[in-house]
Structure 1
Amino acid sequence: MSGVVCMEGFKSVIPYVVRVADINYGGHVANSAVLDFFHEGRIAYLAALGPFDELDLGGCGLIMAEARVRYRAEMKQGDRLQIGVRIPALEGSTGTMEYRIEREGKVTAEGETRLVAFDYSKRRPTRWPEGFRAAVSAFEED
């Protein structure tokens, strides 16, 4: 996979170096930037499966219906992070994507997003395409 390090329980892991643009007035990573980090991980995860992307999962795209973030430790400019992503389950038209961010093996943030399979041409939720379901299942069980 795209990971450069191992992260227990996560097969998709990408490196990320904290940029100046990620920092807020407090001198550490802005809370909103962590969702951007999750997004970077999500894009890499989808590309590794398919290739897929958020607009094309082989018959539909996806939208985010909910996001949760738990901040565990301060992150600063120049920190070398690892972003782990996994999909524990897909059901009907919804699913959960889980994220973990680590610095030198220490968890700095965790979270999850609730995703919805979305038919952009009809502007409504739809079922996950079988090809996407199979790709996720094979990747996560491998």
Structure 2
Amino acid sequence: MSRIKLQLPSAFSFQTQIPIRISDINYGNHVGNDAVLGLIHEARVQFLAAKGFSELNCGGVGLIMSDAGIEFKKEIFYGDVITAFVTTVDFTSIGFDLYYKLETNGKAAVLAKTGMVCYDYEKKKLAQVPQEVREKLSQ
């Protein structure tokens, strides 16, 4: 059986701390796989806000997640405070990839990638990546 193996960028442009909530914990007494998408969503929202954007207004367009890949490395537990690293790579005319690394105690617990596409919610169609977004997210 093949496994997802993400090749992380050499550097991350943003980091934040996210405390693990009891609602993130599953019956195995660690963070559930479903909660990991919520954690990377939180990291993405904070990353965008630090750049002056939101998912609904990213330089005048919205963002939609087109795909996601997650590689689990170690357990995360209630009470842990993860350090979430985020960076942007691989811009196309309509989107880009975001890479994430979630660490506990200085060790990688989760590696993830999401493909993001720009979307015009009013016209209900894909949109071009605004130049301002490309510039700010590349920093």
Q: TM-score, normalised by structure 1?
A: 0.88
> Shift in Å at residue 58 of structure 1?
1.6
Structure 2 letter corresponding to 1:32: D
Find the residue that maps to 2:36 and give its secondary structure.
helix
Aligned to 2:95: 94
Q: Which runs of 5+ in 1 are unaligned?
A: 1-7
> Shift in Å at residue 57 of structure 1?
1.0
Residue from 25, 45, 49 that aligns with 2:27: 25
Residue from 42, 52, 66 that aligns with 2:44: 42
- Report the count of equivalent residues: 130
Structure 1 letter corresponding to 2:99: E
After TM superposition, the structure 1 = structure 2 runs for residues 31-110 of structure 1, keeping only pairs within 5 Å, are 31-49=33-51, 51-110=52-111
Q: Distance in 2 between matches of 1:136 and 1:82?
A: 19
Find the residue that maps to 1:90 and give its secondary structure.
coil
Q: Distance in 1 between matches of 2:19 and 2:137?
A: 27
Q: Distance in 1 between matches of 2:13 and 2:120?
A: 28
Q: Which runs of 5+ in 2 are unaligned?
A: 1-9
Identity of aligned residues (%): 35
Q: Distance in 1 between matches of 2:101 and 2:87?
A: 9
Q: Distance in 1 between matches of 2:94 and 2:35?
A: 27
Give the RMSD, CA atoms, in angstroms: 1.0
Q: Distance in 2 between matches of 1:62 and 1:80?
A: 27
Q: Distance in 2 between matches of 1:59 and 1:85?
A: 22
Q: TM-score, normalised by structure 2?
A: 0.90
Aligned to 1:5: none
> Shift in Å at residue 80 of structure 1?
1.6
